[in-house]
Amino acid sequence: MALCRFCYTFVQRFKYPIMMNTYTNITAEEIQEDMRYLQLLSHRYPTIADASTEIINLQAILNLPKGTEHFLADLHGEYEAFLHVLKTASGSVKRKVNEIFGNTLRESEKKELCTLIYYPEQKLELVKSVEKDLEDWYMTTLNQLVRVCQNVSSKYTRSKVHKALPQEFSYIIQELLHESTIDPNKAAYINVIISSIIETRRADDFIIALCKLIQQLTIDQLHIVGDIYDRGPGAHIIMDTLCNYHHFDIQWGNHDILWMGAAAGNDASIANVLRLCMRYGNLATLEDGYGINLLPLATFAMETYANDPCTLFGPKIDENDTTHNAKARRLMAQMHKAISVIQFKLEAAIIKRRPDFDMNDRLLLHHIDFDKGVFTLDGTEYEMKDTFFPTIDPADPYRLSSEEEEIMEKIHHSFIMSEKLKKHMRCMLKNGCMYNVCNSNLLFHASVPLNADGSLKDILIHGKYYKGKAMLEKVGQLIRSAFNEDTAPEEKLFARDYMWYLWCGKDAAPFDKDKMSTFERYFIKDKTLHKETKGYYYTLRNDEKVCDMLLDEFGVVGKHRHIINGHVPVKTLKGETPIKANGKLLVIDGGFSKAYQPETGIAGYTLVYHSRGMQLVQHEPFTSTQKAIEEGQDIKSTTLLVELSQQRMMVRDTDKGRELSRQITDLKRLLVAYRRGFIKEHGK
């Protein structure tokens, strides 16, 4: 990392006596024990000056403020709301603008500045269409943006900021960030730079670059706590954004794993993905996002269900939605029913070849009495809402028809050959896992299966039992093996089947219910069969002792430590709270998905963890990007203070700080090795 010229000169001039007294506790025995590692380290830092410079640099970094972390969960394809929350950093940009300008700007002026930072390209077009003195607006706005950029960059090293700078404006931005108009000797210099930017007609490009830099520097690390996919229309747009984001991680949710299973070639997962897309009228992700050919399914559905109203399978689309006419909705309903029946047959094949999944209770098609039109279970007959099944053979109900087999072959080929889907899955694998521990926070999407007494539940995976941390790590390893070319065919088949199990299996951590009652909800009138009973985790997580046990299990340390989940929408209309177990656990699924908002009453929670504390932000439904640009309409948000630090958190208080401290210790040993003659300096 870069060091200022003064520090470097200091090290060069006094390189031998520097901090000698602080190294006397390092013994010769310790040096000799680490000799092999220190020899390797010496190639990177070949001289005393190099090692000393890096120590000074790392120690300085430890005393910078902690970077801001941003937590989001259960995005469910709602890309407009996601992008807006990302650009605004859940209100962090607005908070910075208020801190910087206070009462020196009117509220309307601060709103305009924030909107420009969020959507620079679009806002510039609007400004240029109405602004009479554009040059004056440029001058004022550029000075304001420079002040905001100086503020958000102040907690980072120059080296880190430099790496984030757009190449074409790197030198100019560095000059503006590190000089002040308060200094009379520099004021004219800065004003000439800004005037020259305007004069050379580079103001628009420069403003856009500054705004995007502010967005990037406001958030140091982004955490996505699962469920990017399904329901909303733009999961592929979210993934495009994430794949180009500067620093993020993903804790896979059940919907993400379903798509990963589909991308890996599991046909039952593919059928589930298609069914959910039809259910929520979401063909854009499949067709426009990933180029999945739905024509074979559409043709088959129109022919097979030509005389079936398919009333129960109409897509869940807002009545005011004008993008889908009656004909399109009718076709989606037919496709929805067709793929649902195919799904039940494909799932049966997995259940039969994997008896260790213990899911025979999910084999339901043979319980249909086609003559009487009823469903019989445990001697009780249940009335069915739909009895038209032209593709089910009562003598062999789980056999795919020849047409259904052909359809799945074509759709399977579309999924495994989609280059965009492959790219997004590589990104998901590279940046994702089942859980993450970061700065005293344990992140996982749904649950860690528990017994009734709160102890960790043993989960059978491929003939061996796992629990807690070891179980999640085994699941993560299985998922990766499904995409690994070196995995043996039988192991790969099991891994892909298990990914489907993770979607709906009763002991699956991302699901953790006794069953997924899709068939019952679709076809059985009696709602008692619709009930899905959650695992013990969902009630026991309210117990602080259980949360502490889980935090200990995953090795989470720190005075203030938390579990952060998504998965289960927090129903604020019913008085539910996202803060549980006396603040030890936070649930940040509040309904990004529009399908959940009538139940939750809000449009999601996000969490912001900065150097002064942790804030939970509750969002109202997002109107539209267009209104945000034209009218400055931001998401109405309420900030709930979870914790406020008495002292500002610095880098030294974080996981990164502990890692840097270890590096400093190693470098100090290298210095001693140089000075005591164990290793000779090389290089210049």
SS (H, E, C) 382-396: EEECCCCCCCCECCE
Mean pLDDT throughout 322-351?
Answer: 94
Mean pLDDT throughout 249-268?
Answer: 98
Q: What is the C-alpha separation between 361 and 517, in angstroms, rounded?
A: 11
Q: Backbone phi, then psi, for 285, in 5-degree steps?
A: -60, -45
pLDDT at residue 400 in the model: 97
The model's confidence at residue 11, banded by pLDDT at 50, 70 and 90, is very low
Which amino acid would we find at residue 659?
Answer: E
Contact 540, 546 (CB under 8 A): yes
pLDDT at residue 13 in the model: 38
Compute the half-sphere exposure of residue 80: CA atoms within 13 Å on the CB side of its CA: 16
Residue-averaged pLDDT of the chain: 89
Q: What is the C-alpha separation between 667 and 45, in angstroms, rounded?
A: 9
Indicate whether 28 pLDDT > 90: no
pLDDT at residue 300 in the model: 97
Radius of gyration of the chain (CA): 29
Q: What is the C-alpha separation between 600 and 590, in angstroms, rounded?
A: 6
Q: What is the C-alpha separation between 423 and 431, in angstroms, rounded?
A: 12
pLDDT at residue 5 in the model: 38
CATH class name, domain 68-89+221-251+434-447+541-649: alpha beta
Q: Report the C-alpha dihedral over residues 284, 288, 292, 294, rounded to 10 degrees.
A: 60
pLDDT at residue 619 in the model: 72
Q: Which run of H or E residues covers position 221?
A: strand 221-224
Q: Residues with Cβ < 8 Å from 674, sequence gap 6 or more?
A: 42, 47, 48, 51, 680, 681
Mean pLDDT throughout 445-449?
Answer: 96
Q: What is the C-alpha separation between 320 and 323, in angstroms, rounded?
A: 9
Greatest C-alpha distance within the chain: 96
Contact 640, 618 (CB under 8 A): yes
**Structure tokens, 369:** 């009495």
Q: Residues with Cβ < 8 Å from 373, sequence gap 6 or more?
A: 384, 387
pLDDT tens for 462-485 read 999 999 999 999 999 999 999 999
pLDDT tens for 74-119 read 999 999 889 988 998 888 899 899 999 998 999 999 999 999 999 9
Q: What is the C-alpha separation between 144 and 147, in angstroms, rounded?
A: 5
pLDDT tens for 241-256 read 999 999 999 999 999 9
The model's confidence at residue 23, banded by pLDDT at 50, 70 and 90, is low
Percent of the chain at pLDDT above 90? Answer: 71
pLDDT at residue 37 in the model: 92
The model's confidence at residue 15, banded by pLDDT at 50, 70 and 90, is very low
Indicate whether 635 pLDDT > 60: no
Mean pLDDT throughout 488-502?
Answer: 97
Indicate whether 318 pLDDT > 90: no
Contact 137, 128 (CB under 8 A): no
Q: For the whole prediction, is pTM greater than 0.85? A: yes
pLDDT tens for 511-559 read 999 999 999 999 999 999 999 999 999 999 999 999 999 999 999 998 8
pLDDT tens for 407-425 read 999 999 999 999 999 999 9
Q: What is the C-alpha separation between 84 and 628, in angstroms, rounded?
A: 9
| Angle between helices 92-101 and 79-88 in degrees, nearest 10 | 30
Which amino acid would we find at residue 102?
Answer: G
| Angle between helices 48-62 and 5-13 in degrees, nearest 10 | 140
Contact 570, 577 (CB under 8 A): yes
pLDDT at residue 16 in the model: 39
The model's confidence at residue 573, banded by pLDDT at 50, 70 and 90, is low
Q: What is the C-alpha separation between 400 and 407, in angstroms, rounded?
A: 10
Which amino acid would we find at residue 377?
Answer: L
The model's confidence at residue 684, banded by pLDDT at 50, 70 and 90, is low
Q: Which residues pair with 617 in a beta bridge?
A: 606, 639
Mean pLDDT throughout 608-624?
Answer: 80
pLDDT at residue 25 in the model: 76
